[in-house]
Chains A and B, each alone.
Chain A
Amino acid sequence: MKLTASSAAGSALTACANPAMLQRTNAFTSAEKTLLLHAIDAARAAGADYADGRIIRTQFEAIGTREQSITQVQSTDSFGINVRALVGGSWGFSATQNLQRDAVAAMAREAVAVARANNEVAPSQTVLAPVEVFPDARWVTPHRIDPFDVGLEEKADLLLRANAEALRVNHIRFAASSILSVKEQRLIATSEGSFVDQTYFRINPAMTITAISDDGSDFQTRGAVVEPAGRGYEYVMGLDLVANAPRWAEEAAMKLQAAPVEPGSWDLVLHPSNLWLTIHESIGHPTELDRALGYEANYAGTSFLYPPEAVLGQTRLGPDFMQFVGNRTEIGGCATTGWDDEAVPAEAWPIIEEGVFVDYQTTREQADWIAQQTGINRSHGCAYGQNWQSMPFQRMPNVSLMPGQQNLSEEDVIAATDHGIFVEGRGSYSIDQQRYNIQFAGQVFWEIKDGKKHRMLRDVAYVGRTPEFWNALDVIGGEDTYFLGASFGDAKGQPGQVNAVSHGCPVSLFRNIDILNTA
């Protein structure tokens, strides 16, 4: 069976909320719910045509180590309330950490006043896509162990043991590791009557190992050894950092002796630990509708996928077997949720189908902008604001490349080239503001000769132009090679906001890609 976007949405890649976990959640008190409704009422009474609001509590816990030292033990707890109001077609936003009723009402009125002032300066039209009302919705990131229930000693012990294992390897002088745990509790209310109570868990384990040459003239690092995820602490336990640290350390040491890459044209076999970031930059960002239409022109840029009427259903970005799915339901995804910040239910939908670009990422406001082309008048549920101080806007869902139907293994894909480079781990990455010119490095590079890994290379970066790069995709691995890479730091917007997002993909082979030596 061909694994299409729609079939993927119903496959094992899709999350289902665990009812037992839902019952455990009691993130917000009835007093806080009443306060949020008071804010919405105040906005409506002040003249908002529509209003939504959120009470958000964000907790971070970070523990950092280097060698056998603790460098950081930090906990952050931020709590506040916001209102976004629509007057005419213009938005206004306000937020406060003062939870007194009067202060909250004043904050809501301020949002309406800003919206009204904006509409007077530049009147606008805004059409919100219809959405079902969810008066009592709840969702929790599927997890077994709340990272905040795990003691610091246990986390520190794990990291220091991993560092110690890395430091045993010859040439390794430095080893740093950390675990960042995130818990976001969000209560969302809309003037249409939806009420959504959600808790997100995300976790970001990290390790960087540095090797120094005997004469001190060179150093090489091996980082990005594991990925962040939208999961509980059980994810970190499953990574086996201590057992794997020597292998990553050996790779750092081998980089000191690795052969410099010969610039030129090579086939590339990209491991998911590298390819996910290329997907993020060259497929994820250009398919953001607000970006394509100029809303990010002063910062994150625009998109080569413009104008919508000329590209939707028409622009070929890859071979027929290339399927990309926008997915806010994928288990383990950092952008996985039950509902978005506009109380729109999470879903999965095709973005690239059989190699052709077919849809963008949208919010309620944006769905109408392309409904004529797509025939879809619902939001894809991509609204998110970073914290209580942040106005929600369109943020990237998990955007993933579906595995191939032939179920090829990593070895099968490597065997498909005689002159190639196998790239693991994300390295330096940069792309232009319309997402054409890409330049990506990695962590570990292996020369492939006659279908087999031959020797380690160093200082490799691959460059290209997005449409040609994806059209050079020739072979992809099967579901067994598929996994999610992720970032906690997807930046967009002014004021800048960060979003956590994952991208799944199989091992993939690209033909005849330009390679630079970055030394």
Chain B
Amino acid sequence: MAQSKGLQEAQLQDISNRVLQLSQADHCRVRINSGWRGYTRVATNRITSAGGSDSISVNITSVFGNRVASVDTNRLQDEDLRQAVRRCEDMARLAPENPEYMAELGPQIYQSNQGYYQSTGELEPQDRARAAALAIEKAKAAEQIAASYMDVRAGTTAVATSGGLFASHASTGVAYTLTSRTPDGLQSGWAGDEASDWNNIESDRVAQDAVRKCRDWRKTGMEPGLYTAILEPTAVGMLMSRMRNAFNQRTADEGRSYFSRPGGGNLIGEALFDDRITITSDPGYRDAETAPFTASGEAVGRQTWINSGSLVDLSRSRFWADKQGQQPLPAPANLIMSGGDDSIAQMIASTERGVLLTRFWYIRGLNPRTISYTGLTRDGTFLIENGRISRPINNFRFNQSLVEMLQNVEMLSPAVRVAASENSSVSSPIVVPAMKVANFNLSSVSDAI
């Protein structure tokens, strides 16, 4: 078997030990990220940029009492590391005390998972170029213009502490997205895919879907308003990736969140959403794996956040947990939303009047009290009438509370991993269903194509 990309466990341990031995602080923590990133980008039916780079970065945290500082460096010779440790210790000595600092962890027990796929780690520039060529070929055949991006990452990460903790994890990821447009700029379609395992990337399906969406979507006028909306999985994922940020107990306890209980405390245990909504995170979820530890070495396991519409728990830092007399709970590193049995075709067939949305763009927070966001539809927006797609329509801006959206669910498809990042880079894995929801607020028309 070929060696995986990034530093191997023995090398990670060697660097960690070198730093820890150089340390003269009360406590020290070392984090290492190493790996390779390759990419191929297409625009105007040609490859406009492609490249790759290896990188290793070492993050050192030095602690004297409650005085803490961190240094990142990518220089790894002995003298470089020595200088980085000294600089970090100098900074820590000068830093004011941090009353929220929690002592470094000792050895922990971690869930084991295999997030590294050789199929991805061994991907060559020619493989990426072939996917690009396929997209260009299909776009040209349809008299369209392709713009695509493939982002490939493979590497390892590790954390070690002066308390004897050491953890490492290897992972891979691929994100592939394609926008196909007509030369007159009046039609556009998008499709994408994301996986840890290259074998699960459907580059042919992506090319077909983007070209088909572009062919079908030439906008006709439509008024803004409250619509029954069928959100394809990517659209759901782009919103739900924001939902993760709200799962924080401290902001809830401090009165700064939707999950704040009026008068103090939080809403853990309350039924807040449609009872079909279940949200978990799980570092071992197949093809959506994440490291089973945090940057400070805390163990991360499978966690349910919302169960059948009820808030089960919120993440707590070690400081906040200690203050509240609770166990710490790391924030979700991926997001897995349970799906249902309905297909998008069934959702369309069941809809008298509504819209079908492909994906969103420029999503920004509006109001944390209602977890509401604004953003725009993009690259495939259609009107549904009497159980059928009746015509392509203009894009819209939405102003929507995610709380209300999760209360207004009507149908769910099986969940799939999606390319949920707006810039199409490999991101924290998001696994979500397509969703049919009532009263989705499309607040104004966007002329963009």
Contacts and interface: CB of A to CB of B under 8 A. Distances in A.
Are A and B associated in one complex? Answer: yes
A75 B75 CA distance: 14
A91 B133 CA distance: 16
Interface string A484-519: 000000010111100000000000000000001011
Contacts of B56: 97
B3 interface: no
A284 B181 CA distance: 23
Contact of A215 (B254, B262, B361): B262
Given A69-B99, A219-B255, A393-B49, A432 B448 contact: yes
Interface stretch (A3-11, A291-299, A323-331, A341-349): A291-299
Query: Which secondary structure dominates where chain B touches chain A?
Result: strand
Interface string A88-104: 00111111111000000
A493 B422 CA distance: 11
Given A118-B47, A118-B50, A430-B374, A156 B96 contact: yes
A216 interface: yes
Contacts of A97: 54-56, 74-75
A124 interface: yes
Contacts of A383: none
B69 interface: yes
A127 to B, nearest CB: 15
A80 B444 CA distance: 46
Contacts of B72: 60, 74-78
Interface-central residue, B48, B57, B151, B363, by most chain A CB under 10 Å: B48
Contacts of B98: 69-71
Given A70-B97, A94-B51, A298 B178 contact: yes
Contacts of A77: 71-75, 84
Contact of B88 (A75, A111, A117, A210): A75
B362 A433 contact: yes
Contacts of A212: 254-256
A216 B262 contact: yes
A153 B69 CA distance: 12
Contacts of A459: 367
A122 B177 contact: no
Nearest to A492: B423
Contacts of A153: 94-96
B15 interface: no
A430 B364 contact: yes
Contact of A298 (B95, B133, B148): B148
A156 B96 CA distance: 7
A114 B50 contact: yes
B70 A75 contact: yes
A167 to B, nearest CB: 14
Interface stretch (A22-30, A301-309, A312-320): A301-309
A249 interface: no
Given A73-B95, A121-B129, A153-B96, A301 B448 contact: yes
B397 A432 contact: yes
A166 B363 CA distance: 31
Given A90-B47, A93-B49, A294-B181, A465 B447 contact: yes
A435 B132 CA distance: 27
Interface in B156-195: 177-179, 181, 185, 188, 190
Interface of A: 60, 69-80, 82, 90-98, 110-111, 114, 117-118, 121-124, 151-153, 156-157, 160, 173-174, 210, 212, 215-219, 293-299, 301-302, 304, 306-307, 389, 391, 393, 428-437, 439, 441, 459, 461, 463, 465, 491, 493-496, 516, 518-519
Given A71-B100, A212-B254, 12 more contacts: A70-B68, A76-B72, A78-B57, A93-B51, A124-B47, A174-B254, A212-B255, A298-B42, A298-B43, A437-B397, A437-B447, A461-B366
By Cβ-Cβ distance, the 6 closest A-B pairs, closest first, are A93-B51, A434-B448, A297-B147, A432-B448, A76-B72, A437-B446
24 contacts: A70-B68, A73-B91, A73-B95, A75-B72, A77-B84, A78-B72, A97-B56, A121-B47, A173-B254, A173-B255, A219-B369, A306-B185, A391-B51, A428-B364, A430-B374, A430-B375, A432-B376, A432-B447, A434-B449, A437-B445, A463-B444, A494-B39, A494-B424, A494-B425
